[in-house]
Structure 1
């Protein structure tokens, strides 16, 4: 079970959540926190358990075991009404006009008519939907439908945001707009949990990242913490060296070769100067540098050949 820091009581806590479908464990003891004011990227392959975890958080499906808490208390229907949720599959009324739909959804979350209209118009403007405010959702492009779905998750000023692939189908300008909105919401103290296959975007945007594989969390932390856990990596460019010169170096693993540059992961305690000496023994070394792996590389290391 999670150990909760008293200073982080305003957190969304997913604690030991399990969910099975027959013989398949969609979630297997999934535990992590999304702290107040934090952008948390939830990544994994198709079928890894991201959507099931989010559906458990929102009460769309019931967990077989474990608990989800907000501000230290188990979630109930009243609490979940204060959450904003964007499902992976669109949950819009296709024949309803954009403005009417957002007003209706805001009212369902307890807004009065005037307040609901103001909120709907505000998000229509912010997400670039003014020219479509009176259009039926089904007549919009897929990208604009995604903008409406985002507005629906935001229109009632939620205390927590849970977004399943929010950037899917958005053009680069819309991605920038949404990224700014999520930073603003986090800056106001809202915990933001979102999944995405766009790992470069997750790395750029998120405070922390959780990686899930086959229903289990395999890594969680800031990108720098994940880098620290992956060990030291160096890049060596020795253009005169024979191919495979680094194979078999004690305490090292070749993790990539590109344009004559060999990327090596060093085991704990291995002296990088010994690696440099081995490279120099093959001839001139044009480059020897420490490598900061990207989230894409960290993800591949975490999941291996799995999904």
Structure 2
């Protein structure tokens, strides 16, 4: 009689150890699956690992078993801060902690790496429903304890009023939504931005648009800076238009000082640089080439974050 085959239930999926074709959204979520797909295309992306949605299930279940009466008192939706505090009090299983810290050590090397911690939603029943920008993102996280706490804060973001309202508007039962979490190494950016493989203004599919700022690119998403905008012809990558936006300051990552939680600061840009084109033409074309490779392989338009260091 043959020996029974035991399936190993993984808590953490490290980028070097798994192929896209062997993974599912139900385990690593949409963002996690996309990153493994990009990795298998040999697209240059920072090292990452994904915490399985099964860990989310266990942490949330343990939290509710302990604190449900307190969180749901008065018959109202639980307060966001109360949910976060309850989740932060819930310990991960020892095996989960060991796997997360092992993966964090692998992407760190000799010193603790700066990482981003992002949600990777699991909702395979309705792939057309977008959750973009709905859940929290933790940037510039460093150190084992901070990584573990950031993962729990991502979990807590499922229970915010904004998410509840969004789910209600789409007819979604939040009990059907799960979160995997992506932890990805951050790179100090000299220039960063977003590429759109279809012109986002005119929806012209023959043109590609690239936005760029000096420093960290979250200042674009937050509306803090107006980026340069470059329009390219997708057929030959010729540059059709440049709109250079003056930039008086840039956001950079800094080491924490004392108990200070803020890991970024704004640095003034000299007059000589503030009106310059953010990125050379040859690098614009490299970003465009990579963006078009992804669009071609995935057979759909793409919005891609990028940076240069």
Higher RCO, 1 vs 2 (CA within 8 Å, ≥6 residues apart): 1
TM-score by length of 1: 0.27
TM-score by length of 2: 0.27
